[in-house]
Amino acid sequence: MNVNNHLHIKNGRLIDPANGIDAVTDLFIVDGKVASTGTAPAGFNAGNSIDATGLVVAPGLVDLSARLREPGYEYKATLKSEMQAAMQGGVTSLICPPDTDPVLDEPGLVEMLKYRAGKLQQAHVHPLGALTMGLKGKALTEMMELTEAGCIGFSQAEEVIEDTTVLLRALQYAKTFGFTVWVRPQDAHIGRGGIAHSGPLASRLGLAGVPVMSETIALHTVFELVRATGARVHLCRMSSAAGLELVKAAKKEGLPVTCDVAVHHVHMTDADIGFFDSNARVTPPFRSQRDRDAIRAALYDGTIDAICSDHTPVDDDEKLLPFGEASPGATGLELLLSLAIKWADDYAGMQHGAAGSSSPLSRAIAKITTDAARIAGLTVGQLAPGAAADVVVFDPAARWTVEASALASQGKHTPFLGYELAGQVKATIVGGRIAFQRQV
């Protein structure tokens, strides 16, 4: 028995929402798998240990949207830099959209991405395949071949399919083979060219607007197609109160739909654009306070299934420009945990008196672990015996300031620069191996 493959994480507060665990206990890992919690398995002899006294031990985070910028955009970020960012953020599994260059519409490209990511031995990378060739919304890709190459679903990223018949055919095909189609709900024409939420602020600043109806019209179309086909659809980056009401109704109807929200939309509003701060230029745009509050409530009541980082690194040349010319996007891998904790802290009072409710922190962790894994069809995000030992150990009380120099990601731009946040990752374990450990 090789004790070097034995890891003992002791005295931590183990939070495993998938299995209803929230208690101070030990975690024992053998040969890359969770062996047991509480009591050591027979013959266990720790080759390595982590003292997690005062810390939280949780499943490694599962991020539903992280752009790694390879292939094609290495000047914005590289696999090496973004994988390091994932480790510092406690993200052990991530889903990457297909809008690389070239687009992920060929099996060979998918296999190359997975091979290069695998060589780094850090986060597990699960690509989404392009729904149409070149993301041009015309011809469907070979979804079966892309799935065999490693794709877990299919997406148009930020490109809209203008011909609804193409989307119908895609959903029919996806239903036949049990694939999930990931859709960012936006109308092909309304709001095109817009860069801020349509409202008083955009008018005052002279910025072209993206109205909420761009999201709701698209949702109506998607739901009609889901009714017709029965295909499973995941709605990416919800942004509005009106859109969430439609999702809630669709779920009540029993349609096979799930949705997520970008973690920055949980906290920011269009007012955070301030005096044309290009760090607040994101897609979809930050909306009104009413929309932001609806997002927070929808996370609490389960209408929103998961939180993602929507990690989109952008270089200085494309970000340090006038608001309307700057590229949309923000770095998020290293902020996902802290901003989820911030939501939990803000909403701690809401769970008071709720029947059978878990702790706010456990709810937040569920949204970025087990709930996200379920959407992606992955078996990670939980710590039952036999599960892959992907683990994050973090201090929920440790405070850190978001500064460009503190970020491992090559993308240094986020609307949270200068913010002090709680929650700092102390160690990230991937497959039972300590892939990152913060130096004291």
pLDDT in the model for residue 439: 86
Please choose, from the candidates 425, 409, 415, 127, the residue with its C-alpha nearest in 3D space to the C-alpha of residue 278: 415
Q: Which is catalytic among the residues 22, 105, 305, 310?
A: 310
Do residues 365 and 403 touch, judged by C-beta distance below 8 A? no
Q: What is the largest CA-CA distance in the chain?
A: 69
Alpha carbon 363 to its chain's center: 15
Distance in angstroms (rounded) separating the CA atoms of residues 302 and 280:
27
Judge residue 246's burial from the number of C-beta atoms within 10 Å of its C-beta, 0-12 exposed, 13-18 middle, 19 or more buried: buried
pLDDT in the model for residue 353: 42
Do residues 397 and 411 touch, judged by C-beta distance below 8 A? no
Do residues 154 and 166 touch, judged by C-beta distance below 8 A? no
The CB density around residue 42, as the number of other CB atoms within 10 Å, is 7
Please choose, from the candidates 139, 168, 146, 145, the residue with its C-alpha nearest in 3D space to the C-alpha of residue 229: 168
Digit-coded pLDDT (tens) for 374-395 = 999 999 999 999 999 999 999 9
Distance in angstroms (rounded) separating the CA atoms of residues 182 and 234:
5
Please choose, from the candidates 207, 233, 82, 226, the residue with its C-alpha nearest in 3D space to the C-alpha of residue 154: 233
- Going by DSSP bridges, is the β-strand pair 232-235/209-210 parallel, antiparallel, or unpaired? unpaired
- List, run by run, the mean pLDDT of 10-residue segments along the chain (440 residues): 82 97 97 96 92 98 96 91 98 98 97 96 97 98 98 97 98 98 97 96 96 98 98 98 98 98 98 96 98 96 97 97 97 98 83 60 97 98 97 97 96 98 98 93
The CB density around residue 196, as the number of other CB atoms within 10 Å, is 24
315 among known catalytic residues: no
The DSSP letter of residue 283 is: S
